[in-house]
């Protein structure tokens, strides 16, 4: 399998006072063309920061290190800023979370879509407009010709998200990173947008990284899933394995926070005690230990590595093997 | 920015149209000043000093005495010749009165508007071009570049402006012939100086706005899709700050006009026989005394200045509204 995206040892630190704040630590990512990977985790687990690091969009105070950050065989960190920018939008695209603020309020939709093409393909404004119309049509917007002249505030939330997706897809990139593309939408729209993303990704043979905190989204779209906690990958595997037989106590706890139809109504949801993992403070042991029900003494001393588990998938937990028995 | 829709939105309001007409008319009158059958603004006739205004219908036109005309450029000479062909030796009587040296107030207002508009235009353009570019680069680049550029602005702003002007004008006086050979008269120097200070505040304002926008999500989104820095500044950032720029621009023009009048009043700006609105205001204020109040020396220049400034502010306000797509649509709906 030749991978489209291959990241090893990605670490992102922010300078805050004396000790740097480590938002992402030693993250590895492999993605094949056409694959859909979901990245799951609580707020502050480093999902979005990793995505921004791929696109070189972190604010100046951030330090990004990695052993390897290859996209289609090219080392991203070795590229000149200009060359890297040429990749963004054309070969790899990022879909932002909030369509309200990610679209420019004073530019028409057609203009914003056309911008991408004007930048990358040196198209004239008229040619870009024609392509923009086609792009709007492809994401299922009715009356695309009329919508081209609409301003973002004249569109509904779902339509705005579609426009954002159309913007990301317009230059037919090979990698799409969608940062919580459905969080700002209501449930019916979520399904539509996810289906749209999946269909378009399949059509273009592009790979998709879907950042989300909703296991429901993961189950409906992704093939592989990566669970992050406090800036580290804690579990990784095929969707069925991870969702049905989680190997990490955090993954299990996360799944138990979600209301489900196949459980009795009065079965209480179990929130994870304590606050989300503080990515900034490096602990000696496992970052999840303070909130973990299965904590043993070893968890406080040693940090578990991400290791292959019996039955496929990888998890970073000393008690991954016991989890099955405790079920 | 979708150009056409905002312009049509602008033109659809009555206030903007009125302001546009006033400004257009004022510009036309100023540009074609030599064409109008007016007395020479520099002709001194002490026998006719401080005459009150006469309505055009009581005394319309009089025969002009042959007088030394102003030094005019090639275009103005052509206009002057056209006037002679059209109106012969006729010129308007003192419709708006005469000042303490017997000069016609109407002619002085018209000719003075040329200088004042030029000063305002000069200051407006420098603050629009230099100020916006400087501020945008500073705010967008951030970090050390921002630090350095803003300290430059600080340094320039901390210079006491009047002393700098006195210094430069005096220095220029010593080199007058050499400078004139280069085509730099004292007036041009004045324009340059006014322009040099007028962009500083604009740079600050723009920098603050850009700083806030730089980390806006739509700018980040544009970067994620590969927009170059220049494109982000030009396409994504500048349209968003345009309303602020326009409002500040219209607000700064009155203070520029006042600055010119202040400098002329100190004898550092426009020299007679040239005239500007600032000089007119200063002359008018001088002529007022408890015994006799030549009100026309104050009222008419002030009215002209007031009308133009009001039109400018109205237009700026309407333009800002028209550039905001939300407001534009709401009004037309």
Q: In this predicted model, what pLDDT tens digit does every residue of A141-187 receive, in sequence order? A: 888 889 998 888 888 888 888 899 888 888 889 999 998 888 777 77
| A164 neighbors A103 (Cβ within 8 angstroms) | yes
A140 phi-psi bin (left φ>0, alpha ψ -120 to 50, beta other): left
On whether the CB atoms of residues B322 and B328 are closer than 8 A, the answer is: yes
CB contact at 8 A, B202 and B208: no
| Integer Cα distance of A82 and A75 in angstroms | 14
Which structural domain range is residue A226 located in? Answer: 5-326
For A237, the 3-state DSSP assignment is strand
**Can you point out the beta strands (E) in chain B?**
61-63, 90-92
Block residue for tokens 């600050």: B204
Percentage above 90 pLDDT, chain A: 11
pTM: 0.78
Q: Is residue B89 scored above 90 in pLDDT?
A: no
Tokens of B259: 């600055």
Instruction: Give pLDDT tens digits for B13-63.
Output: 888 889 999 999 999 999 888 888 888 888 888 888 778 788 777 777 777
Provide the domain count of chain A.
1
Residue A82 pLDDT: 87
Q: Which of A174, A235, A233 is nearest to A209 (CA)?
A: A174
CA dihedral B257, B258, B262, B267 (to 10 degrees): 20
CATH number at residue A276: 3.40.50.300
Strands A307-308 and A175-179: what pairing? unpaired
With CB atoms and an 8 Å threshold, state whether A107 touches B329. no
| Tokens encoding B146 | 């921002």
Interface test with B, best of A99, A107, A146, A180 (most B CBs within 10 A): A107
Which residues on chain B are in Cβ contact (under 8 Å) with A120? 226
What pLDDT does residue A325 have? 64
Structure tokens at B38: 């007016």
Cβ atoms of residues A261 and A243 within 8 Å: no
Instruction: Judge whether A253 and A272 are in contact, CB under 8 Å.
Output: yes
Average pLDDT, chain B: 83
Averaged over A87-91, what is the pLDDT?
88
Which of A324 and A169 is assigned the larger pLDDT? A169
Query: What is the token pair recorded at B66?
Result: 């042959």
Residue A51 has what DSSP assignment?
A: H
Q: Which helix (H) or strand (E) holds B223?
A: helix B217-224
Read off the pLDDT of each residue in B130-147 and give the average, rounded to a whole number: 92
Of B143, B226, B323, the CB nearest to A119: B226
Mean pLDDT of chain A: 84
Region B276-283 average pLDDT: 83
Q: How many residues does chain B have?
A: 333
For chain A, percent of residues with pLDDT exceeding 70? 92
Is cis: bond before A232, omega within 30 of 0?
A: no
- Of A178-192, A289-303, B76-90, B153-167, which has the strongest mean pLDDT? B153-167
What are the respective helix, strand and coil percentages of chain B, to the nearest 5? 70, 0, 25
How far apart are the C-alpha atoms of B271 and B277, rounded to whole Å?
13
- The rounded distance, in Å, linking the Cα atoms of A306 and A247 is 11
A119 touches chain B (CB under 8 A): yes
CA atoms within 13 A on the CB side of B97: 16
Measured CA to CA, the distance from residue B123 to residue B17 in angstroms comes to 25
Distance to chain B for A268, nearest Cα, Å:
38
The verdict on a CB contact (< 8 Å) between A105 and B325 is yes
Which site among B5, B8, B225, B246 would you substitute to test the A interface, given the most A Cβ atoms closer than 10 Å to its Cβ? B225
pLDDT of residue B150: 94
- The first and second tokens of residue A87, run together, are 């990749």
**Is there a contact between A274 and A291 (Cβ–Cβ < 8 Å)?**
yes
Check pLDDT > 60 for residue B2. Answer: no
Q: What is the mean pLDDT of residues A213-237?
A: 86
- Phi first, then psi: give them for residue A16, nearest 5 degrees: -135, 105
Phi-psi region of A172 (alpha: psi -120 to 50; beta: other; left: phi over 0): left
Determine whether the interchain pair A106/B218 forms a contact, defined as Cβ–Cβ distance below 8 Å: no
- A87 with B216: Cβ contact below 8 A: no
The span from the CA of A99 to the CA of A164, in Å, is: 7
Render the burial of A30-55: b for 16+ CB within 10 Å, e for the rest.
bbeeebbbbbbbbebbbbbbbbbbbb
* Model pLDDT for residues A99-119, shown as the tens digit of each residue: 888 888 888 899 889 888 888
Farthest CA pair distance, chain A? 67
Confidence band for B326, pLDDT divided at 50, 70 and 90: low
Q: What is the pLDDT averaged over residues A211-226?
A: 85
Question: Which position has the higher pLDDT, B65 or B169?
Answer: B169
Q: Looking at residues A11-37, what average pLDDT do you find?
A: 86
Yes or no: say if B265 and B286 are a contact pair by the CB < 8 Å rule. Answer: no
Q: What is the CA radius of gyration of chain A?
A: 21
Helix (H/G/I), strand (E/B), else coil: A36:
strand
Q: Say what the pLDDT of residue B155 is.
A: 92
Q: B228–A85: do the CB atoms touch at under 8 Å?
A: yes
**For the residues A255-262, what does the mean pLDDT come to?**
74
Residues whose CB falls within 8 Å of the CB of residue B142, separated by 6 or more in sequence, listed in order: A60, B211, B214
CA distance B34 to B29: 9
- Answer for the pair B264, B270: CB distance below 8 angstroms, yes or no: yes
Beta bridge partners of A93: A176
Q: Please report residues of B whose CB lies closer than 8 A to that of A108.
A: 2
| pLDDT at B332 (0 to 100) | 47
Q: B333 pLDDT exceeds 50?
A: no
CB-CB neighbors (< 8 A) of B218 in chain A: 101-105
Is the pLDDT reported for residue B123 higher than 80? yes
pLDDT for the residue numbered A226: 92
Q: What are phi and psi of B235, to 5 degrees?
A: -90, -35
pLDDT above 60: residue B68: no
**Average pLDDT for A20-36:** 88
Contact: A57, B223; criterion CB under 8 Å: yes
Residue A326 clears pLDDT 70, i.e. is over it: no
Q: Output A233-237 pairs: Cβ under 8 A, ≥24 positions apart.
A: A233/A27, A233/A28, A233/A306, A233/A316, A234/A288, A234/A306, A234/A315, A234/A316, A234/A317, A235/A306, A235/A313, A235/A314, A235/A315, A235/A316, A235/A317, A236/A306, A236/A313, A236/A314, A236/A315, A237/A309, A237/A312, A237/A313, A237/A314, A237/A315
| List of residues 6+ apart from B61 with CB closer than 8 A | B37, B87, B90, B91, B92, B93
**CA–CA dist A242, A225 (Å, integer):** 7
Q: How many angstroms separate the Cα of B312 from the Cα of each of B28, B98, B169?
A: 15, 28, 30
Which chain B residues are closer than 8 Å to A166 by Cβ?
none
pLDDT band at residue A261 under the 50/70/90 scheme: low
Among A88, A98, A149, the residue with its CB nearest the CB of B225 is: A88
Structure confidence at residue B3 as a pLDDT band (50, 70, 90): very low
For residues A308-314, average pLDDT? 77
- Of residues B153 and B189, the one with the higher pLDDT is B153
Across the range B289-305, mean pLDDT stands at: 86
Contact A185, A217 (CB under 8 A): no
């Amino acid at each position: 399998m030749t991978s489209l995206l291959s990241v090893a040892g990605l670490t992102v630190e922010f300078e805050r006072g004396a000790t740097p704040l480590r938002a992402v630590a030693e993250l590895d990512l492999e993605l094949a063309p056409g694959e859909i990977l979901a990245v799951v985790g609580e707020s502050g687990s480093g999902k979005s920061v990793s995505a921004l690091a791929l696109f070189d969009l972190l604010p100046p105070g951030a330090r990004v290190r990695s052993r390897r950050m290859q996209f289609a065989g090219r080392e991203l960190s070795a590229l000149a800023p200009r060359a890297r920018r040429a990749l963004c939008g054309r070969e790899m695209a990022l879909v932002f979370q909030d369509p309200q603020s990610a679209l420019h309020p004073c530019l028409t939709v057609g203009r914003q879509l056309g911008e991408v093409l004007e930048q990358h393909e040196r198209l004239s404004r008229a040619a870009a407009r024609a392509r923009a119309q086609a792009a709007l049509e492809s994401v299922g917007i009715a009356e695309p010709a009329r919508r081209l002249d609409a301003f973002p505030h004249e569109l509904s939330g779902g339509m705005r998200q579609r426009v954002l997706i159309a913007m990301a897809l317009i230059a037919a990139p090979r990698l799409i990173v969608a940062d919580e593309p459905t969080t700002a939408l209501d449930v019916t729209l979520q399904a539509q947008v996810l289906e749209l993303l999946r269909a378009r990704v399949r059509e273009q043979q592009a790979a998709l990284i879907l950042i989300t905190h909703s296991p429901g989204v993961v189950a409906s779209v992704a093939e592989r899933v990566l669970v992050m906690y406090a800036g580290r990958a804690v579990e990784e595997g095929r969707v069925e394995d991870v969702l049905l037989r989680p190997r990490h106590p955090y993954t299990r706890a996360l799944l138990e926070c979600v209301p489900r139809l196949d459980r009795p109504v009065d079965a209480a949801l179990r929130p994870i005690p304590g606050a989300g993992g503080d990515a900034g403070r490096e602990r000696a042991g496992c970052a999840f230990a303070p909130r973990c029900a299965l904590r043993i003494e070893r968890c406080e001393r040693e940090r578990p590595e991400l290791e292959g588990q019996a039955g496929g998938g990888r998890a970073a937990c000393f008690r991954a093997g016991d989890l099955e028995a405790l079920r | 920015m979708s150009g056409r829709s905002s312009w049509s939105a602008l033109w659809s309001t009555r206030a903007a149209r009125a302001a546009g007409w006033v400004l257009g008319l004022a510009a036309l009158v100023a540009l074609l000043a030599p064409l109008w059958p007016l007395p020479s603004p520099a002709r001194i006739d002490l026998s006719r000093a401080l005459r009150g205004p006469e309505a055009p219908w009581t005394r319309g036109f009089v025969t002009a005495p042959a007088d030394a005309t102003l030094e005019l450029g090639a275009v103005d000479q052509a206009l002057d010749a056209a006037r002679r062909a059209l109106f012969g030796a006729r010129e308007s009587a003192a419709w708006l009165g005469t000042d303490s040296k017997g000069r016609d107030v109407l002619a002085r207002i018209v000719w003075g508007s040329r200088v004042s508009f030029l000063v305002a235009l000069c200051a407006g353009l420098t603050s629009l071009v230099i100020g916006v570019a400087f501020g945008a680069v500073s705010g967008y680049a951030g970090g050390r570049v921002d630090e350095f550029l803003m300290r430059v602005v600080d340094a320039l702003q901390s210079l006491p402006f009047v002393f700098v002007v006195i210094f430069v004008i005096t220095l220029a006086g010593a080199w007058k012939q050499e400078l004139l050979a280069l085509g730099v008269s004292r007036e041009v120097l004045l324009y340059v100086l006014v322009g040099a200070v007028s962009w500083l505040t604009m740079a600050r304002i723009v920098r603050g706005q850009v700083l806030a926008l730089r980390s806006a999500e739509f700018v980040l989104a544009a970067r994620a899709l590969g927009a170059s820095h220049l494109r982000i500044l030009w396409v994504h950032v500048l349209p968003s700050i345009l309303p602020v720029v326009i409002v500040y621009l219209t607000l700064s023009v009155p203070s520029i006009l006042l600055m010119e009048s202040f400098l002329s009043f100190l004898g550092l700006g426009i020299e007679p026989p040239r005239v500007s609105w600032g000089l007119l205001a200063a002359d008018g204020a001088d002529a007022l005394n408890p015994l006799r109040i030549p009100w026309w020396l104050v009222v008419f220049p002030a009215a002209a200045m007031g009308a133009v400034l009001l039109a400018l502010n109205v237009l700026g306000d309407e333009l800002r509204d028209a550039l905001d797509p939300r407001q534009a649509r709401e009004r037309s709906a």
